[in-house]
Amino acid sequence: MSGQSRDAAIVGLYEYPDRDVDGEISPLQIKTVCARNALADAGLNWSDVDGIFDASEGLPMSGLFLAEYWGLNPAVIDTTGVGGSSYEFHAAHALSAIRQGRCKVALLTYGSTAHSNRMAIGVGGRGMGGISAADNMESFVGQTLVSNYAMVANRHMHQYGTTSEQLAEISTATRYHAMRNPDAVRAMEDLEFIDIRETTVDDVVNSRMIADPLHLLECCMISDGGGAVVIAAADVVPDTKKAPVWIIGAGEATKYPTNTGDLTVSAGAQSAPIAFGEAGVTPAEMDVAMIYDSFSITVLAILEDLGFCPKGEGGAWVTGGKLRFDQNGGPALNTDGGGLSSNHPGMRGIFLLIEAARQLRGESSAQVDNAQLAVAHGNGGMLGSRHTAGTIVLGAN
């Protein structure tokens, strides 16, 4: 770690607390509330922001309108939109822009009313009206998002002997953490979850089947929500309010179907070595792993691809509660409750950065003792089909 570069840090963050806004606020307004509070958390002002990073989820052509809406004149505008990993890409791009001297304070925001709008995310297809590869490869046979992930899970089970009980360990760990997060508990109440409590492996495998072999408690919720992250250059950090969380490594990748491709391998197998290599650390050193959990299989495959265990050994590796914040067997997984039990408004990448930063500031509701290193890994698109991976390695001050 001696050669580690510390050029930019997360200095402000905010997560919108409501998961069911019932149409009372728009995605753009959620983004604005989050931005204002994240800047206050950092001790900075709107006038300090000279970089806007946005995935256009709350406002079409956001690069054109956001600056005007907020009264800013940014030197950098990045509207990269690659699904749920967009915010890891944004963090990587903000780090690059800051290193180049193009901006000093970057603002990342997200806002969604997916639940209020009754968006059928899991059962929706991914075609684009005859203009994308999905149209002639998948959509015409009725492939939906959840069935795609079920296909990956089936392949992993066939190829490596993975069991439903092993996959269920991921859901039980995230629910264990969610029950310690008041916002997550309130989210489950507002979204009318039944029997809200810590769950067991039996609870998960006995919940109703959604897409074989994935059960209800292995699928993310659909919520409203939003968040914001402020990233600042090293020379701005001394003027901020709280301990900085340094971005010490970043990697980006994409993967798409090929005739010889392995469905169980994600783009994280490419992005993770880049990020860990830049940071000069290994997966084994991570105290916290914030991994995109659209479904249990998403986490299992990505844990393997990030290098926490060899490919195919994830099922055995996650057993025994080792992913809980108060255990020592592995990194604490999704300590806010994750997309499975806290929030998933459609694109969850920004919350991975927020909770990883909370952990390294000592502010999590499921706090790992003396957490020093964390990885935030976003997955955009569909695992097993075309998707993106963004890996961000963070270090405490």
Residue 181 — left, alpha, or beta (φ > 0 → left; ψ -120 to 50 → alpha)? Answer: beta
Instruction: Give the residue extent of every domain in the chain.
Output: 8-118+221-396
Residues of the chain above pLDDT 90, percent? 85
Give the DSSP letter string of 365-388.
TTPPTT--EEEEEEEEE-TTSSEE
124's tokens: 């929706």
User: What pLDDT sits at residue 135?
Assistant: 64
- What is the helix (H) or strand (E) element at residue 272, kind and residue range? helix 268-279
The answer to whether the Cα torsion of 276, 282, 287, 293 is positive or negative is positive
Matching CATH number, 8-118+221-396, of 3.20.20.240, 3.40.47.10, 3.40.50.150, 3.40.50.300:
3.40.47.10
Secondary structure element (H or E) that encloses residue 225, with its range: strand 225-233
Strand partners, 295: 219
Mean pLDDT of 33-41: 98
User: What is the rounded CA–CA span in Å between residue 346 and residue 294?
Assistant: 9
CA–CA separation, 217 vs 196, rounded Å?
A: 12
User: Over 60: is that where the pLDDT of 280 sits?
Assistant: yes
Report yes or no: 104 and 125 within 8 Å, Cβ to Cβ.
no
pLDDT tens across 229-254, in order? 999 999 999 999 999 999 999 999 99
Residue 51's pLDDT band (cuts 50, 70, 90): very high
Cα 384 from Cα 397, distance rounded (Å): 37
* Residues in Cβ contact with 391 at an 8 Å cutoff, skipping those fewer than 6 apart: 88, 249, 250, 251, 252, 268, 271, 272, 274, 275, 276, 306, 375, 376, 377
Neighbours of 226 (CB within 10 A): 31
**CA 154, CA 145: separation in Å to the nearest integer?**
15
The pLDDT value recorded for residue 117 is 86
Q: DSSP assignment, residue 251? A: E
* Per-residue model confidence (pLDDT) at position 128: 54
Q: Mind listing the pLDDT tens digit for each residue in 53-106?
A: 999 887 778 888 999 999 999 999 999 999 999 999 999 999 999 999 999 999
Return d(Cα 112, Cα 253) in angstroms, integer.
25
Residue with tokens 């190829």: 159
Instruction: Name the phi and psi angles at 195, rounded to 5.
Output: 60, 65
- CA distances to 170, 259, 275 from 146, rounded to whole Å, are 17, 22, 29
Query: What's the CA gap between 352 and 349, in Å, rounded?
Result: 5
Q: Over the stretch 297-354, which tens digit does the pLDDT of each residue have?
A: 999 999 999 999 999 999 999 999 999 999 988 899 999 999 999 999 999 999 999 9
Phi/psi of residue 176, each to 5°?
Answer: -55, -40
Give the global pTM: 0.96
| E strand or H helix that includes residue 189 | helix 182-190
Tokens of residue 13, six digits: 């963050």
Residue 245 in tokens: 């969380």
Q: Is the dihedral of CA 282, 286, 292, 296 positive or negative?
A: positive
Separation between Cα atoms, residue 307 and residue 371, nearest integer Å? 19
Higher pLDDT, 261 or 299: 299
The kind and range of the H/E element at 115 are none
Q: Is 250 helix (H, G, I), strand (E, B) or coil?
A: strand
Mean pLDDT, rounded, for 156-174 = 98
Q: Is residue 341 within 8 Å of residue 178, measured between CB atoms? A: yes
Strands 288-291 and 332-333: parallel
